[in-house]
Amino acid sequence: MFYFILLLILFAFICIPLIFWFPPCKKIPSLSKLHIVITGGSSGIGKSLAIEAVKRHANVSLLARNKTKLENAKKEVEKFRSFEEQEINIFCADVTDYSQLTEVLSQVKSVDILINCAGMAKTGLFEDNHSSFKQLMDLNYFGSVNATFSILPKMKTQRFGHVVFISSMAGQLGIFGYTGYSASKFALRGLAESLLMEVRPHGIGVSIAFPPDTDTPGFEEENKDKPEETQLISASAGVFSPSLVAKDILNGVQSGKFLIASGMDGHFLNMLTCGASPASSRLELIIQAFMMGIIRLVMTVYSFNHHKIAEHGEKKRRETISGEDKQKMS
């Protein structure tokens, strides 16, 4: 009991100074008339972000590869226009092509918020598709790097801006079948934390969002060849609507959050994986400090279950192969 009380006293001595020394986060009270550029804006979360931003009176520019999809997305977004002068622009470019992207974005005079939403997911066993690793890294990671490189000088000139990276819950913990995808999304976390230290003195904020499975065309395509183990592990978090995820992301940006989550599982994962990342408020910092140990124990149970699912799947795979070999021999 004595040691427990001593531990509480030591914890108080640490937390009380933190409460007073903690620097305030950079908030954006209103998106009205701010210019938001969204890569991957022709469908899914990107399009929903555009709709939600327009509802909040922002000007938006959508960027994607497919011109037809962009034009259709623009028509849909225009239905939610808040005022006649509100700008909704589209730019056709591939974020993996830095030269093309830079040329296209040079047409944009100023950008207040950049949301790096272009991305894709591919699932499968590690040894099944070597080429997918580079493809996923080129789009999910380097696509975000390229867009940020193109936009950041404009933000530094105006001494204001915010960069958002769209990662995934699979960018916080490894999941069976996501070896290539998780790696590309984990990489964004390191980029976001390091970049924030560089750009904060210039009046620029950074956020990274970790959406759960979201009901989008990309998710539908991903499910076509998703391993059974991946489906079972992912099922516990549920499937969210893109409009809800978009609201969570923009709310997080306006609140100055560095880590943005959706759903209860997402918030728990944020607390567990917050590490040395900046907290958005003193209250969030204290909650993280108290809850991390407890959530670590809970997640150990989840992790044990995930590994059991993987072991059971491998056993079924071996039995299937063995059965097929017997049929060939007979």
Does the annotation mark 132 as catalytic? no
Cα dist from 155 to 30, 73, 149, 159, whole Å:
18, 26, 11, 6
From the candidates 69, 74, 154, 185, give the one annotated as an active-site residue: 185
Angle at Cα 163 formed by Cα 73 and Cα 261, nearest 5°? Answer: 80
* β-sheet with 35-39: strand ranges across: 88-92, 59-64, 35-39, 113-116, 161-166, 204-210, 259-261
From the candidates 48, 181, 184, 257, give the one annotated as an active-site residue: 181
A 10 A CB-CB count for 75 gives 10
Does the annotation mark 185 as catalytic? yes
Q: b or e along 283-315 (b: 16 or more beta carbons within 10 Å of the residue's beta carbon)?
A: ebbeebbebeeebeeebeeeeeebeebbeebee
Cα gap 116→107, rounded to integer Å = 18
From the candidates 43, 48, 144, 167, give the one annotated as an active-site residue: 167
Does the annotation mark 257 as catalytic? no
Point out the residues that are catalytic: 167, 181, 185
